[in-house]
């Protein structure tokens, strides 16, 4: 029996950025790998995290970070897969973009439409989409090395508005919505990224979510 394949498409939170060492967390402390371990040998996990990745914005200061431009080639490269998990939006909170939560949701809507079109016309609607709203930006970001780039007050506020918008998008486009902020919190080390404990918890909770999702699909 072939394995079910899950494509995890995100930013540094998916890549596994360590808020303390500012390097990459080991495999057993990154949520995609923890997810795969929790789901078992019937699943194969594809890690597609990139530091600084935005939903659809070009970032001249950081190079090729536009997720909307890469999502098509990424899906083609890793096809076929059974589930795609999208967790993006944190980098769109940066002060340089000055986005509201509605702006970010608008960008995500365009990305979902692109994914849905690929699924329908190229894959016969064969895979499921999980839209994951990212964990909230913590107040501690104000004193961290990321504080200035994220603009502090606005990024904290807007991050807390995203789950509602993402939930609405998931309903509109018949996707699954997973709200990461219900289970994990950003590290006080930088106010944005997840430490190893929260990375593992996210992977475990997401595994339970996918198990229930799969059970409902087979009923």
Tokens 């996210």 sit on residue: 202
Range(s) of the domain holding residue 120? 4-218
Which pLDDT score, from 0 to 100, does residue 152 have?
85
At 13-38, the pLDDT tens digits run 999 999 999 999 999 999 999 999 99
Total number of domains in the chain:
1
Annotate 158-176 with b (16+ C-beta within 10 A) or e (fewer): bbebbbebbbebbeeeebb
Select the more confidently predicted residue: 2 or 187: 187
Identify the pLDDT of residue 150. 95
Contact 150, 137 (CB under 8 A): yes
Instruction: Give the tokens for residue 158.
Output: 């807007």
Q: Tell me if 6 sits within 8 A of 35, measured CB to CB.
A: yes
Give the pLDDT mean for 63-87.
97
The pLDDT score that the predictor gives to residue 219 is: 45
What rounded mean pLDDT belongs to the chain? 96
- Percentage of the chain lying above the pLDDT 90 cut: 94
Give me the pLDDT at residue 218, please: 54
Mean pLDDT, to the nearest integer, of 159-166?
98
φ, ψ dihedrals at 81, nearest 5°: -145, 165
- Token pair 């498409």 is found at 9
Which residues neighbour 114 within 8 Å (Cβ) at sequence distance 6 or greater?
68, 71, 72
Mean per-residue pLDDT, 102-128: 98
Overall average pLDDT of the 121-149 stretch: 97
Number of H helices, E strands in the chain: 7, 5
- CATH number, domain of 177, equals 3.40.50.1110
Give tens-digit pLDDT for 178-193: 999 999 999 999 999 9
Exposed / middle / buried, residue 37 (Cβ in 10 Å: 0-12, 13-18, 19+)? middle
pLDDT at site 214: 81
Give me the mean pLDDT over the 161-183 stretch. Answer: 98
What is the pLDDT confidence band of residue 47, given thresholds at 50, 70 and 90? very high
> Is a pLDDT exceeding 90 seen at residue 1?
no
pLDDT at 81: 98
Q: Hey, CA dihedral for 156, 161, 167, 172, is it positive or negative?
A: negative
């Amino acid at each position: 029996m072939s394995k079910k394949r899950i494509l995890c498409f995100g930013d540094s939170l998916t890549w596994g950025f360590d808020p303390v060492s500012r390097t990459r967390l080991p495999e057993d402390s990154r949520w995609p790998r923890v997810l795969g371990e929790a789901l078992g040998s019937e699943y194969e996990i594809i890690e597609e995290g990139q530091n600084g990745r935005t939903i659809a914005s070009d970032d001249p200061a950081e190079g090729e970070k536009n997720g909307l431009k890469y999502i098509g080639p990424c899906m083609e490269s890793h096809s076929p897969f059974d589930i795609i998990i999208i967790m993006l939006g944190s980098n769109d909170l940066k002060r340089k973009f000055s986005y509201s939560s509605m702006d970010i949701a608008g960008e995500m809507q365009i990305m979902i439409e692109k994914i849905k079109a690929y699924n329908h016309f190229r894959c016969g609607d064969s895979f499921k989409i999980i839209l994951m709203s990212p964990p909230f930006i913590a107040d501690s970001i104000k004193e961290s090395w990321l504080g200035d780039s994220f603009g502090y007050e606005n990024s904290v506020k807007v991050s807390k508005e995203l789950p509602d918008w993402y939930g609405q998008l998931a309903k509109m486009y018949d996707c699954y919505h997973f709200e990461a902020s219900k289970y994990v919190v950003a590290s006080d080390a930088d106010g944005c990224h997840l430490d190893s404990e929260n990375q593992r918890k996210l992977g475990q909770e997401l595994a339970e979510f996918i198990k229930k999702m799969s059970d409902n699909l087979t009923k």
